[in-house]
Amino acid sequence: MTKFIFQRIFQMIFILLGVSFIVFFSMHIAPGDPATFIAGEEAPPETVEQIREDMGLNDPFFVQYGDYMAGLIQGDLGYSYQTSQNVGEAILLRLPNTVRLITAGLTVAAVLGIAIGIIAALRHRSWLDYTATSFSLLGLSIPNFWLGTMAILVFAVILQWVPVGGFNSPWFTFEGIQETIIPALTLGLSSAATIARMTRSEMLEVLGSDYIKTARSKGVREIKVYMVHALRNAMIPTITVLGLSFGVLMGGTVILEEVFAINGIGRLLVDAIQQRDFPMVQGGVLLIAATFVIINLIVDLLYIIIDPRISYGE
Amino acid sequence: MQNSNENLLRVEELKIEFSSSKGPTRAVNDITFNVSKGETVCIVGESGSGKSITLLSIMKLLSKNGEITNGNIHFQGNNMRNLSNKQMRKIRNQEISMIFQDPMTALNPVFTIGYQITETILNHSGLSKKATHERVIELLTLVGIPAPKQRIKQYPHELSGGMRQRVMIAIALSNNPKLLIADEPTTALDVTIQSQILDLIQDLKEKFNMGVLFVTHDMSVVTEIADRILVMYGGKIVEEGTVEDVMVNPKHPYTEGLLNSVPDINRPDRPLEPIPGSPPSLDDDIPGCHFHPRCKYAMEECSIEYPSTFTIDSDHHVNCWLQKTGEWSHHVSESEVLYDSQ
């Protein structure tokens, strides 16, 4: 178990190394020169060239990459080309908003998805099931930037139930929840749909198994048959989907933070990419990759708790 | 009925239909039988004859598309046909318990066996935590599981098939049921384990004076445990009698076929004689006797009308036109060697 965790963390180092290289390389070959952005459109070529030289942008690719990695190993993510802010500090400053959005989105996805999946399975082939299945399809097909825009229009502009955007109040205050609820629903909806479909089909499969018949023959209450005997078994594959949805949610924040004017990592990344702010992009992507790897490690560890048949060796 | 106080279970004119896209199909057609206290009744027949469905209908555990369309099921004199789910829950395990064919899949893989037995006990009684724990140990000891204190912490996948079936039996006995229903409980086990489990069921039956309703397709199992036999074919009981009657003196060609298709240790040179053809599917609408297309003695009237019940002696009944015409002679005189009549 401990060995397994260490192995995975060891693997993570290589994954992050690979990610950093790919990002560094793709930023390098992408059109657009950070020096031009810094100097401004009108700047004379000599100034731009001077900036390039100062920033080390004229060095060979591997020298630049080596310099960056040398800093990274010491925990230094570099400085923003645009604002000269320390990248690590800039990210930490924006992190709480993104964590809040993703946590809320993941909660929506898990709670809504699992609940809808269970209801659909229990009322198999009823109107509830068909409604739930249609909802899932709808949730998967609607792009979240459109949904977000519509939600702002309806709930913020017309009904005025919630503010138009931004996270300005602390998490667990009335205002905080008011600010979070619509972005979270928008973010979590498509994942909720995926999870609902998975839960539904898993529940249906599990409900047909012999041990469910055994549970009923023992005189176990129906609600307990579903929520204890069936659900725990149905959760094993659903957890996998939940872990993978985390990646979808993180991708979603990049767009939705723009739509809802939330100052998070996603928005930071979009701005950084537009301004060719290489260190900032690099830092943001590495953070996302690391989080994704860690979440999937947690999912793998959750299996052990849910399914006693799974073990990762002694 | 003169011995009604002895009668635990009485199934009367039971019909079970399954709805499908092609319309209703009849899985069980008008069967009647009794199980008394301390008696083992075996239902024998091929796959698809309606044996397992009959058992599930007694427990009210038929799948959603299955329905009892006619007849009654009496347990200790009370009609169970119209009991609500809530009332049925009180009967399950408390009065009637069931064990299933495949112990590999009948236990929930994500809970310890201790939990699965504890839960069963607590469904029906308000025992304290300590008393429940002691009861679990007692049950596991009763079914012959060594080191029960360690076993309760284990998960089903850590136990062998035979051990798991013992756990299933322990679960079934949790609340001292009066009737034990077993759906081919030894089919998935190898032969030595099979006889251990059969012995265990027999012992427990005698110890607690339970009625046992046992479904199997294995004639050697029948000879080992049955007091009475019901032979089912195509959703009907075609022959019924004590184990001596049916094994030594089978009156239905299907029973004869079943006996002839089993190897006999005392006559290793006897060629096995399979029953030609395959059992009818539920959709087949066979006129007359359902067995006549496969029957080597089939006569004209067999395809016209379903045979009425002929009584051979007080306990031995058969549905076959051969009895009417008197053409039946004892074709399987050797079959008594299979049933060792002590």
Domain for residue B198, yes or no? yes
The partner residue sitting opposite B105, judged by closest CB among A211, A232, A309, is: A211
Domain for residue B287, yes or no? yes
* Residue in chain A lying closest to B175 (CA): A218
Residue A278 has pLDDT above 90, yes or no: no
A230 and A236 in contact (C-beta within 8 Å)? no
| A interface test, pick of B57, B58, B110, B184 with most A CB neighbours within 10 Å | B110
The partner residue sitting opposite B92, judged by closest CB among A219, A232, A307, is: A219
Q: What is the CA radius of gyration of chain A?
A: 24
CB contacts of A222 in chain B (<8 Å) are 85
Single pTM value for the model = 0.83
Inspect the interface and report whether the beta carbons of A308 and B157 lie closer than 8 Å: yes
| A interface test, pick of B86, B108, B174 with most A CB neighbours within 10 Å | B108
Instruction: Determine the distance in angstroms separating the CA of B102 from the nearest CA of chain A, rounded to an integer.
Output: 8
> Residues B318, B322, B326, CA angle at the centre, nearest 5°?
110
Domain for residue B338, yes or no? no
Q: Which of B12, B42, B19, B16 is closest to B28 using CA atoms? A: B16
- What pLDDT score was predicted for residue A95? 94
The first and second tokens of residue B94, run together, are 């408390």
The partner residue sitting opposite B157, judged by closest CB among A222, A229, A309, is: A309
Overall domain count for chain B = 1
- What pLDDT score was predicted for residue A33? 80
Inspect the interface and report whether the beta carbons of B110 and A233 lie closer than 8 Å: yes
Domain for residue B150, yes or no? yes
- What pLDDT score was predicted for residue B332? 43
Segment (H or E) for B18: strand B7-20
- What pLDDT score was predicted for residue B200? 94
Residue A239 has pLDDT above 60, yes or no: yes
The partner residue sitting opposite B107, judged by closest CB among A211, A307, A309, is: A211
Domain for residue B336, yes or no? no
Tell me the pLDDT of chain A averaged across its residues.
90
Which residues of chain A have a Cβ shorter than 8 Å from any chain B Cβ?
A: 209-211, 213-222, 229, 232-233, 306-309
**Range from A105-114, A273-282, B96-105, B178-187 carrying the lowest mean pLDDT:** A273-282
In Å, what is the CA distance from B167 to each residue of A46, B11, B95, B164?
A: 85, 29, 19, 5
CB contacts of B61 in chain A (<8 Å) are 213, 216-217
Inspect the interface and report whether the beta carbons of B105 and A210 lie closer than 8 Å: yes
Domains of chain A in sequence order: 100-265 (1.10.3720.10)
- What pLDDT score was predicted for residue A1? 78
pLDDT mean for each 10 residues of chain B (342 residues): 65 92 88 94 90 93 90 92 89 94 93 95 90 95 93 94 94 94 90 91 94 91 93 94 92 91 81 86 84 90 91 91 70 44 40
Instruction: Determine the distance in angstroms separating the CA of A304 from the nearest CA of chain B, rounded to an integer.
Output: 10
The first and second tokens of residue B324, run together, are 């009417």
Instruction: Determine the distance in angstroms separating the CA of A233 from the nearest CA of chain B, rounded to an integer.
Output: 7
Give the Cα separation of B298 and B252 in Å (integer): 11
Instruction: Determine the distance in angstroms separating the CA of B76 from the nearest CA of chain A, rounded to an integer.
Output: 19
- How big is the A-B interface in CB pairs under 8 Å? 70
Q: Where are the alpha helices (DSSP H) in chain B?
A: 51-59, 85-91, 103-106, 113-124, 129-142, 148-151, 161-173, 191-208, 219-225, 243-248, 253-260, 322-325
Inspect the interface and report whether the beta carbons of A218 and B123 lie closer than 8 Å: yes
Those residues with Cβ within 8 angstroms of residue A110's Cβ, 6 or more apart along the chain or in another chain: A192, A195, A242
Domain for residue B330, yes or no? no
Domain for residue B328, yes or no? no
B181 and B97 in contact (C-beta within 8 Å)? yes
- What pLDDT score was predicted for residue B3? 45
B215 and B198 in contact (C-beta within 8 Å)? no
Inspect the interface and report whether the beta carbons of B168 and A214 lie closer than 8 Å: yes
- What pLDDT score was predicted for residue B328? 56
Residue A52 has pLDDT above 50, yes or no: yes
Q: Which of B212, B220, B237 is closest to B289 using CA atoms? A: B237
Q: Which pairs with CB-CB distance under 8 Å and at least 24 residues apart come from B298-305?
A: B299/B325, B299/B327
Residue B273 sits in a domain of what CATH number?
3.40.50.300
Instruction: Determine the distance in angstroms separating the CA of A212 from the nearest CA of chain B, rounded to an integer.
Output: 8
Domain for residue B342, yes or no? no
Inspect the interface and report whether the beta carbons of A308 and B171 lie closer than 8 Å: no
The first and second tokens of residue B280, run together, are 């009818």
Give the Cα separation of B284 and B290 in Å (integer): 9
Per-residue model confidence as pLDDT tens digits over A214-228: 999 999 999 999 999
- Domain around B240: 7-323
Q: ipTM of the assembly?
A: 0.86
Work out whether strand B236-242 and strand B66-75 pair parallel, antiparallel, or are unpaired. unpaired
